[in-house]
Amino acid sequence: MKVPFLDLHAQYLLVKDQVDNAIRNTVNGAVFVRGEAVALFEDRFKALVDTGNCISTGSGTDAIFIILKTLGIQPGDEILTPAFSWISSSEVISLCNAKPVFVDVHPETYTIDPALIEKKITPKTKAVIVVHLYGQAAQVAEIKKICDKHALFLIEDCAQAHLTEENGKYTGTCGHAGAFSFYPTKNLGAYGDAGGIITGNDELAAKMRRFSNHGALTKDDHLLEGMNSRMDTIQAAILLAKLPFLKNWNEMRRASARLYNDLLRDVTGVSLPSVRPGTVHTYHQYVIRAVNRDKLRKYLEEKDIQTLIHYPQALPDLPAYRYLNHVPEEFPVASRLQHQVLSLPVYPGLTEEQIRYVAAHIKEFYTKN
């Protein structure tokens, strides 16, 4: 048996007719940028997550960047951000000539640890970025209180958390703004780069829309300089076709996670992903902590089971951040996780048989090693 890490072609086959129609209609309509599907997708997405505004963007990375620029982040400002994440959440801070201030993550949830935030706040701190890593909700309600107390902006990176919930609310709706990625591999993925911002603040939303379109809301109305970051009509049409399936696909991911949990619960050497009480996980990734991780990964590869590591290096350890002169001891949890985390295949269409095959070989590895 073969277990690929992800099978985007199989996912395409689940919605082939809808997607083929969406593409054909867009090509026939020939409005490739700012076409009707874009506004329609924004309307449907904001209604789904229950917020006031959705502004589509060219990518998830752009979405966070546009939020920072619109909130008025200036050179020299400090932004707190998790030490364990994809690079987008910190690189956009540097793009504003502001300083990424890394905060270690919680040892069980792997999201930014609220208990460590206040220690890192200085008079230069302007905002906190939380990342809902792997589909697990970060402790936004608690972090919101800290942000309110210190008059900081709260930005949610929801690139891995489409319809993740905390206390009955979807992620992205608690902070000043939430950033989404619709990169092809995400829980809701386009067929190329695409992203979006949600915010309940109409004034911010208007600024974001302007910034993402060369500083103009209508043609030639350039009140300021912005950038070109727009979702293509064809991507919006594809996302519209896929949107009705998102809840069900998330449910399939949760079912896969439950089965993995049942099968791996008693395997010594493996720590299962936690789910914080009061939250709904969407398992963008199903990530275990594994003793002897690299050897396990190689063993699984020999059995035709693909796994990935999200992420092999904590952000402060990356060459890109050498200039900040951090040492791993400053981020003990992130520094440990980079050697332990292993992402197992999880996607709509993964079969029970495949999950049993993966779990059986993990079990077998630990009886031999």
Ligand X SMILES: *Cc1c(COP(=O)(O)O)cnc(C)c1O
Q: What residues line the site for ligand X (CB under 6 A)?
A: 59-61, 85-86, 88-89, 131, 157, 159-160, 181, 183, 193, 195
Using the minimum distance from each CB to ligand X, give the nearer residue, 77 or 156. Answer: 156
Using the minimum distance from each CB to ligand X, give the nearer residue, 62 or 78. Answer: 62
In the complex, least distance from residue 287 CB atom to ligand X, rounded to whole angstroms: 13
Q: Quick one: tokens of 208?
A: 């974001």
Cα dihedral across residues 354, 185, 9, 338: positive or negative: negative
In the complex, least distance from residue 46 CB atom to ligand X, rounded to whole angstroms: 18
In the complex, least distance from residue 284 CB atom to ligand X, rounded to whole angstroms: 7
Phi, psi (rounded to 5 degrees) for 3: -125, 95
In the complex, least distance from residue 23 CB atom to ligand X, rounded to whole angstroms: 20
In the complex, least distance from residue 263 CB atom to ligand X, rounded to whole angstroms: 27
Rounded Cα distance between 246 and 187, Å, is 7
Q: Quick one: tokens of 299?
A: 């063993």
In the complex, least distance from residue 63 CB atom to ligand X, rounded to whole angstroms: 7
| Cα distance between the two ends of the chain | 23
Using the minimum distance from each CB to ligand X, give the nearer residue, 65 or 299. Answer: 65
- Angle among Cα 12, 16, 21 to the nearest 5 degrees reads 130
Using the minimum distance from each CB to ligand X, give the nearer residue, 45 or 365. Answer: 45
Using the minimum distance from each CB to ligand X, give the nearer residue, 157 or 317. Answer: 157
Using the minimum distance from each CB to ligand X, give the nearer residue, 88 or 213. Answer: 88
Using the minimum distance from each CB to ligand X, give the nearer residue, 85 or 256. Answer: 85
In the complex, least distance from residue 130 CB atom to ligand X, rounded to whole angstroms: 10
In the complex, least distance from residue 238 CB atom to ligand X, rounded to whole angstroms: 15
244 Cβ contact list (under 8 Å, min separation 6): none
Pair 255, 354: CB distance under 8 Å: no
Using the minimum distance from each CB to ligand X, give the nearer residue, 192 or 215. Answer: 192
Pair 164, 157: CB distance under 8 Å: no
Residue nearest to ligand X (CB): 60
